[in-house]
Amino acid sequence: MAQLNKKYGPETMIMASQMRQMSPFASGCLPLDIILGGGFPANKWTEIIGFESSGKTTVVHKTIAHQQAKNPEFSTLWIAAEDYDKEWAQQLGVNTDHVMIAEIRAMEEAYEVMLEFAASRSVDAIVLDSYPALIPSEEDAKAMDELTISAGAKVSNRFWRKAGKASKRSHLTDERPFMGIVINQWREKVGGFSPQGTPKTTPGGIGKNFAYWTRLEVSRAEFLDEPIPGKGKARVGQAMKLKTVKHKAAGPQKTAETHFYWTDSPSRGISAGSWDVIRDLMTWGVYYDVIRRRGRYFDVADRTWDTKDAILDSLRGELDLQDDVAAAVLHAAFNLDELETAA
């Protein structure tokens, strides 16, 4: 081992027991963190996939906002192959003073910038929004009527072969971790057939799917309407369905649902650009017995409420209670007691 480390570089070979387990980057959405195994993986790359207006970019903005709330210095490199909406990001809670925007549409240039920032350890998050908006130089150099087959996939596969080295962090020293996210879109698979519906695929070829540590699908389950007395209903948000298409650490094909509001919901006390945090806490708190229900009574640790409305009021008004319930749910979801005992 010593000879190989001297020949090929430090940490070419280490004992498995020396490998550091990096904490994931929590999204701030409890159902999403549960299916992700605690959050987006550190020093790995995640693909977020969905159809138009499903909430892909919103999930990323809310994750960055949550991380900034924990660490005000949390910084992000955002490759804006599509236009960056500063006002929407700010409404979702993002401090744009700590987001660097690179308006790049050339695929090779975008990938080079991502590799340089990943290797430099100078930012906490790298986001590409989105892959389909990038154009490879081979395609850019040709006229509109000239064919370019798999040009983007070839460049992307080259990027992923280089990304491993740039993303690598030391297991023996405390190096700054980062969160890597690439936003992609579903396409109908031309010529495919399935009795369950038209097969779907993503631009960029199949090779990239093996490089991602996590692939997350975001879709809209239904719209959420707010009743307005004497005026009918107004559309205020959407039920967002989340699914881990691939996950190398927390298990794939896990699903969850949350509610997101893009405008204020006075009846629910939810402001624009927010998750329905209280609904998620109640749903998963009861599921994991963190909130114990006894008829009309609800218990959390040594506290008791005599109605559902009473505990909901406490959850809305007490941030410490929210944090305690969320932490206990994640603790129960990942069987931390069993893991600690085994360790």
Q: Hey, what CATH topology would domain 277-343 get?
A: Rec A Protein; domain 2 (3.30.250)
Q: What is residue 228's predicted lDDT score, i.e. its pLDDT?
A: 86
Q: Averaged over 226-235, what is the pLDDT?
A: 89
Report residue 340's pLDDT band, with 50, 70 and 90 as the boundaries: very low
* pLDDT greater than 60 at residue 292: yes
Task: Tell the residue number behind the tokens 């490089």, with chain if given.
Answer: 211
* pLDDT greater than 60 at residue 338: no
- CATH architecture for the domain at 21-275: 3-Layer(aba) Sandwich (3.40)
* pLDDT greater than 80 at residue 3: yes
* pLDDT greater than 60 at residue 339: no
The more confident residue out of 214 and 193 is: 214
Least confident of 38-52, 181-195, 211-225: 181-195
Q: What is residue 192's predicted lDDT score, i.e. its pLDDT?
A: 65
Tens of pLDDT, residue by residue over 72-95, are: 999 999 999 999 999 999 999 999
Q: Averaged over 212-223, what is the pLDDT?
A: 96
Domain parsing of the chain, residue ranges: 21-275, 277-343
